Structure 1
């Protein structure tokens, strides 16, 4: 039986995975599994952005308690058909928005909620909506190209 979901998901945009050792984790995800380290579109040094050959992103997330807020590092990001509609559905629902809404350097919009099991879910638009001239080093630290 088909349902008519209130939030229409296009695909999984990325997943976030908790790591504790940047160098050791990169030896697995980059060297062994072949993920490509790509420039991050946020100014947080605790996240390494990588992608698979088909373009699916995997974010490697070191622990961070910025602003005293501790949230799960593991998350799944769903790319949605209509971000504004998704945001309205979330605001009208019983699910609390814990981060966002916001916009990354490349124009990607995002918002996060926690489910009842403390799993973090992110809802996003497509990536690379606008150009962001970022570079990354071999350890996944990103910065603006002109710096």
Structure 2
């Protein structure tokens, strides 16, 4: 007899939850049941993205670059160059006039920068500077990309 009452109670709870979910009682959303479309940010123009990236590289150079060799001392500067590079990739992806073949070398350089950032920290410069670190991937590639943009103007 106890099992019979327990089964009815659980059945009633399941029914109540199902009815509430179907009727929309469990949601404060006034939509028609469809998920809201997320507005994707519009890609900047290639000209604006190029100018912003070039300005970031110029600022890095004007500020003296990475002044310290120790790990962790240049992460902010690396990020400051990487963020406009990402915007440049978005703009290049949206650019219908030139196409992906034109941007292939730029994409490769931005990918190298992303690989350096993916390390998650500034690895610094090893004693003697004999081996490369993620600074070279990010900042060296940023300068190579800046040169490529100068040689391949899009405006």
The verdict on a shared fold, with TM-score over 0.5 as the criterion, is: no
Q: Which of the two has greater helix per residue?
A: 2
Higher relative contact order (CA 8 A, sep 6+): 1
Q: Which of the two has greater strand per residue?
A: 1
Taking structure 1 as the reference length, the TM-score comes to: 0.28
